[in-house]
Amino acid sequence: MAKFLLSLAIVYALVVALMWAFQDRLLYLPHAGREHVSSPADLGLGWEEVTLTTEDSVALDAWWIPAPEPRASLLFFHGNAGNISHRLESIAQFQRLGLSVFIVDYRGYGRSEGRPSEAGTALDARAAWQWLRNEAEQEADEIVLFGRSLGAAIAAELAVSLEEQQTTPAAVILESPFRSVPELAQQLYPFLPARWLARIHYPVEDYVTQISAPLLVIHSRDDEIIPVAQGEAVYRAAREPKRLLEIQGGHNTGFLDSEPVYSEGIDAFLSELVESAGGEHGQPPD
């Protein structure tokens, strides 16, 4: 019995050590699809391929898809797997809502250089924001920050960084957000001291307490990867003005499974909280 318990303890310690050492490989999955599988041209959309350079001189791949008569520009931060070419269905949805879309691949994803990290994705987000402001000549109150899953954490961090510069975007939309990496890991791996092992944090629940822009949290009750309780906690922690949009469907398909509720919810949020704010947070309604 003593030998069995000792063997069990050794195995457990090994699992804990591997969890600590390789947690970045569990979170960042750039190799799930490095090659582009399509482009906006396949949907008949006009677009521009853009190369960004971050503050630490990493080259990033991005797409600019302007809308014919845009109500705003959406800065799109995608999830932890695949690349920008896997997000065409979302881009089409946002285009139908009258939004120009700027979507970027983080370092190490798709055709972007480098290796992903928490500090690195923050620099990537800043580079994307600066391109929209300087090259696309978008005003801050014309830009909506959108992030899905991991991208929600990156969007929230950028929003806080802008707040520190006394800059406020038109709105922030967080789809399938988690409270933080330690909290999510503990919920997913209750048999491990995951909360204490985490070297990556992305404290979204803390970030939203500092965001003054109108906030929309979107989450599916069917989400099998990030439990809806995580998104609800983020929503509760957030400052007003805020809205919660509940959808249905899986983590990677809810935005499609829940049409038209999904698009109608975003449209209503933009109309009620963003465009109605006029010069304070967005453009006046038509």
Considering the candidates 180, 223, 258, 281, report the single residue annotated as catalytic: 223
Three-state secondary structure call for residue 62: strand
Find all residues with CB under 8 Å of 24, minimum gap 6, and list them.
Answer: 116, 117, 199, 200
* 2 token code pair: 């003593």
Q: Exposed/middle/buried for 141, CB within 10 Å: 0-12, 13-18, 19+?
A: buried
The yes-or-no answer on residue 223 being catalytic is yes
Count CA atoms within 13 Å of residue 26 on its CB side.
17
Considering the candidates 78, 86, 251, 281, report the single residue annotated as catalytic: 251
Measured over the CA atoms of residue 75, residue 125, residue 233 and residue 195, the dihedral's sign is positive
The yes-or-no answer on residue 36 being catalytic is no
Find all residues with CB under 8 Å of 241, minimum gap 6, and list them.
Answer: 214, 215, 273
The string of DSSP codes covering 71-126 is SEEEEEE--SBS-GGGGHHHHHHHHHTTEEEEEEPPTTSTT--S---HHHHHHHHH
Considering the candidates 100, 112, 149, 220, report the single residue annotated as catalytic: 149
Q: Of 199, 192, 200, which is closest to residue 16 (Cα–Cα)?
A: 192
The yes-or-no answer on residue 105 being catalytic is no
190-199 contacts at long range (C-beta below 8 A, 24 or more positions apart)? 192/15, 192/16, 192/19, 193/16, 194/19, 197/16, 197/19, 197/20, 197/23, 198/23, 199/20, 199/23, 199/24
Catalytically active residues are: 149, 223, 251
